[in-house]
Amino acid sequence: MSALDGLYQELILDHSKRPIGKGELSPAEGALTASHHEFNPSCGDEIDLSISVDPETGTISELAWQGQGCSISMASASILSQLVRDEQLSMEDARARIDAFRSMIQARGAEEPDEELLGDAVALQGVAKFVMRVKCAMLGWVALEADLAQVEAQRTA
């Protein structure tokens, strides 16, 4: 195990022990909200992930989730929450991050992940080596993608 792998494992463990964004959504008045339940039957992970979006700016103002599952799925959701919270992502930005994350996982180490887009989520790169864990890592990100589609439908309605 390389030093970097060790560092990554520690980060994942840290996030799974003290998850960021776990809790209830408390949206501001007038905010657009969406919630999605995602289940990964191969591992038993599940998550309910909610967002609120500022209807004027299209910025994700809050992300909150509840869930249970393996440490990979929970750490991944926590890292995603941190990314959304710290960078105050627009919906477009969030989609770009989800795409970058999916590419990283699907590339299975064949390409360097975009650390600028992904932040701590690059720690999950090693997960791609294990086919069974791909859905665990993607769980929260897929749920956010579904939420974004729901909000988009509200915005264009």
For binding to Zn ion (CB under 5 A), which residues are involved? 43, 45, 69-70, 73, 136
Three-state DSSP at 42 gives: coil
Closest distance of CB 142 from Zn ion, Å: 13
- The residue type at 152: E
61 Cβ contact list (under 8 Å, min separation 6):
27, 28, 31, 52, 53, 54
Instruction: Give the number of other CB atoms < 10 A from CB of residue 10.
Output: 11
**Of 74 and 148, CB closest to Zn ion:** 74
Closest distance of CB 2 from Zn ion, Å: 24
DSSP state of 25: -
**Of 11 and 43, CB closest to Zn ion:** 43
Closest distance of CB 151 from Zn ion, Å: 26
**Of 36 and 133, CB closest to Zn ion:** 133
